[in-house]
Structure 1
Amino acid sequence: MEALFAPFEVVFVQRALWGGVLVSLICALAGTWVVLRGMAFLGDAMSHGMLPGVALASLLGGNLFVGAAAAAAGMALGVTALNRSPRLSQDTSIGLLFVGMLSAGVIIVSHSGSFAVDLTGFLFGDVLAVREQDLVLLALALLVALPVAVLGHRSFTALAFDPRKATTLGLAPRAAHAAMLGLITLAVVASFHVVGTLLVFGLLIAPPAAAALWARSIPAIMAGAAVLGCTATFVGLLVSWHWGTAAGASISATAVALFFCSAALSRLRPGGGPTPPDDDPPAPLHTDERSNAS
């Protein structure tokens, strides 16, 4: 038992654990919709799209979190604007912005004298360097993400399973899509400092995907994803402590390993394969409700 809990007697490992738990909760709320809507490529592009903002903030001596948030917001606005063009598919729009933002970020970072250090920190993060103020920011991000997920649940559900029905029901699909993008952006920006942009998907996608194989409702997927994400954080930090591996990578690798274990176990149950969520579709709105939703 001492081997399980001894590492968490160290203050910086305690902060890393709390940081990972907060990130797991945020990613559970946003990652569930990423998985259900098949938006993994968008999340990947969003994380890399932060590079120009982070690089510019680093060169100017500004706050990296603010720089990342500004760049990610710009990326989200760009995706929203390009999606309005009927001649461009969503993947094409995302791919163009992905390459453009990543190239701009590398160009900016290349003017820094600490190119390798800055880029490594951006890509892989440093969960063991989480400070108290970082925990405060993560807690605030969770306080913002939670009401967005709760208030937008009905619209997000309709948008995920039948966007045309969302329009018919007067659920303002464009506004719902923008809110969902904002939720994903918040999760990515809040998480990159802890596990880095390349590894953030270990917590953003793997836990919800693993929970989706068993859960029969969207809230259950979110709850399962939160539990699995927190478990991956705890186990990943233990692996990092005892084996001397990179903490962020250990957390993400554990999350992915939990997904494959979940997928393998789901094949053993009767009927094998994933259990689709059975959330009831949103009920039609009355006239007054429809005007309020718009």
Structure 2
Amino acid sequence: MWGGILVSAICALAGTWVVLRGMAFLGDAMSHGLLPGVALAALFGGNLLLGAVASAAVMAAGVTALGRTPRLSQDTGIGLLFVGMLSLGVIIVSRSQSFAVDLTGFLFGDVLAVRERDLLLLGAALLVALVVSVLGHRAFLALALDPRKAHTLGLRPRLAHAVLLVLLGLAIVASFHIVGTLLVLGLLIAPPAAALPWARGVRGVMVLAALLGVTATFAGLLLSWHLSTAAGATVSAVAVALFFLSHAASGLRHLRARRIAAPVPTVD
């Protein structure tokens, strides 16, 4: 539960910018791009977290470098890195006969295996994410609204984008142990997207997204216990369900507001 709470806070900080900038595909690509580093770490008996950090750094550097290529669209570069890193990871996994169980935990998470050491690492990751979010808030906001205006204001949008990639990588690395790389977008995108219709301002979205993430964690763990389902997948599914409930309620609210504001016909 505590692991899920910490991850929800980290994902709320990074996921808000992912949603505002429309970077969902990038988040998905980076989460899958962790596989080579984790596979190498498992193959040679190293630390899986350090392997994930190394892969995230390679992905972030690759996306930044390819994004500066004038004849190559950013989506094309991200897609190439996505497939290349995932293929490399599968090749490495195929060299090991004992990695199948570890791979399942990597893909789908193992929230019930969180230890005290993991909580300390998640706490440190949350602290770093808070510092980055506070220091880079103005630059991130200008980048989300208009990159050209951000450049005019001297906010260095390329550097802001690179730092934002680091924040995204941090959230993904911190989350893969909880919900796995295949389901990390559930906590990274669903809570901020669910918070958008109800919050005013970026900070409000972050706070509400963190609360929704915590709710998804608690409800998901409770359901997985009673239904004997995979904990990480259930948490992610609840987060996505909260998104649909939020937008359905928002649609009903707007419909009611239009009906109230509609002029009453008069009879002459």
Instruction: Work out whether the TM-score is over 0.5.
Output: yes
The alpha-carbon deviation at position 110 of structure 1 amounts to 0.6
Name the SS of the counterpart of 1:269 in structure 2.
helix
The alpha-carbon deviation at position 119 of structure 1 amounts to 1.9
Aligned equivalent of 1:213: 197
Asked if 2 retains the 8 angstrom alpha-carbon contact of 1:266 and 1:272, the reply is no
TM-score by length of 1: 0.86
Q: Which amino acid aligns with 1:80?
A: T
Check if 1:114 corresponds to 2:101. Answer: no
After the TM superposition, which segments of 4 or more aligned residues of structure 1 sit over 4 Å from their partners?
Answer: none
CA distance in 2, matches of 1:270, 1:179: 36
The alpha-carbon deviation at position 116 of structure 1 amounts to 2.4
Check if 1:49 corresponds to 2:41. Answer: no
Aligned equivalent of 2:261: none
CA distance in 1, matches of 2:131, 2:91: 38
Name the SS of the counterpart of 2:254 in structure 1.
coil
Aligned equivalent of 1:244: 228
Which structure 2 residues correspond to residues 96-175 of structure 1 after superposition, within 5 A?
96-175=80-159
Aligned equivalent of 1:224: 208
| Structure 2 unpaired stretches of 5+ | 258-268
CA distance in 2, matches of 1:27, 1:270: 28
| Structure 1 unpaired stretches of 5+ | 1-16, 274-294
Check if 1:95 corresponds to 2:79. Answer: yes
Tell me which of 39, 58, 66 is aligned to 1:74: 58
RMSD, matched Cα: 1.1
Asked if 1 retains the 8 angstrom alpha-carbon contact of 2:42 and 2:99, the reply is no
What number of residue pairs does the alignment pair up? 257
The alpha-carbon deviation at position 28 of structure 1 amounts to 0.1
Q: Which amino acid aligns with 1:195?
A: V
The alpha-carbon deviation at position 271 of structure 1 amounts to 5.5
Aligned equivalent of 2:266: none
TM-score by length of 2: 0.94
Percent identity at matched positions? Answer: 75
Which structure 2 residues correspond to residues 256-275 of structure 1 after superposition, within 5 A?
256-270=240-254
The one-character-per-residue Cα deviations of 1:8-58 (angstroms, maximum 9, x if unpaired) are xxxxxxxxx000000000000000000000000000000111100000000
Check if 1:20 corresponds to 2:4. Answer: yes
